[in-house]
Amino acid sequence: MNRVSIKDDLDLKKIADSGQCFRIKPLDDDSFRFVHMGHVLDMKHVSRDEFEISCSEEEFADVWHEYFDLDRDYRKIRKGINRDDDYLMRSAEYGKGIRILKQEPWETLISFIISQRKNIPAITAAVDTLCRGYGKKIGNSGEYSFPDARALSKLSDEEWKALKLGYREKYIRQAVLEAPDMTAFYGLSDEALMERLMGMYGVGIKVASCTALFAYGRVDLAPVDVWINRIFENEYGGENVLAGRKNAGILQQYLFFYVRGMQGS
């Protein structure tokens, strides 16, 4: 095992519990497994700024540095919050350590289509079933890659029904038929990216916002769901205080994590 030093906010458990990724597995209290783009990382917090990693330092720099968004200063973002905004201040302190993971776009899109009206354990189980059934085995790790559109295009009607995706099945099957080159979306503006994603069948503003934030790193875009709307109503008089705000997606994660934590969800 190797070690890396990370000076900025990074709490593996909070990231795992933040609802942005459905492939993270807890191994023990301080150690978590991440699967990304055919790579598997076991990572453990061993001291204040030190983390133990199962990969080489070169792989961490090439693959995982970008995945954990380590070029962005999250402490600076937290310190820039207006101190008069007590609720957001408390949320940021509670969620300190969350980072926006830069995930593979196709996996993120399909995962968040699945996520509609499902809780996190159910989403995780559905994603795992897809990967184990139709992904490629990653070495001897026991983990599997997320199946691409070509692999999913080979499923029979019976195999699709066995996945028990409900009404989401037709959306995913259409995405498979379209098989968009999602790497081509990286160069789009935020507005154009959202327009392109929402042009896909069954992809509304919530799924598009999550994909833009968690796959393309568009941190000025904030997904708004029932939890966030509840905060707007209860704490801000119905105002969307994230709209048009710099780093809105990061602030949204603090709010989302805090409100769910306070309600024991």
Residues designated as active site: 206
Question: In the sheet where 31-36 sits, what is the strand order?
Answer: 2-5, 50-53, 39-45, 31-36, 25-26
Please report, for residues 77, 114, 121, 249, 256, the alpha-carbon distance to residue 264 in angstroms, rounded to integers and kept in the order given: 26, 23, 15, 22, 12
Contact 135, 146 (CB under 8 A): yes
CA-CA-CA-CA torsion for 17, 18, 20, 26, nearest 10 degrees? -20
Quote the tokens at residue 58. Answer: 């070169």
Contact 218, 193 (CB under 8 A): yes
Please tell me the distance from the alpha carbon of residue 151 to that of residue 199, in angstroms, as a whole number. 23
**Degrees (nearest 5) of the Cα angle 74, 75, 80?**
95
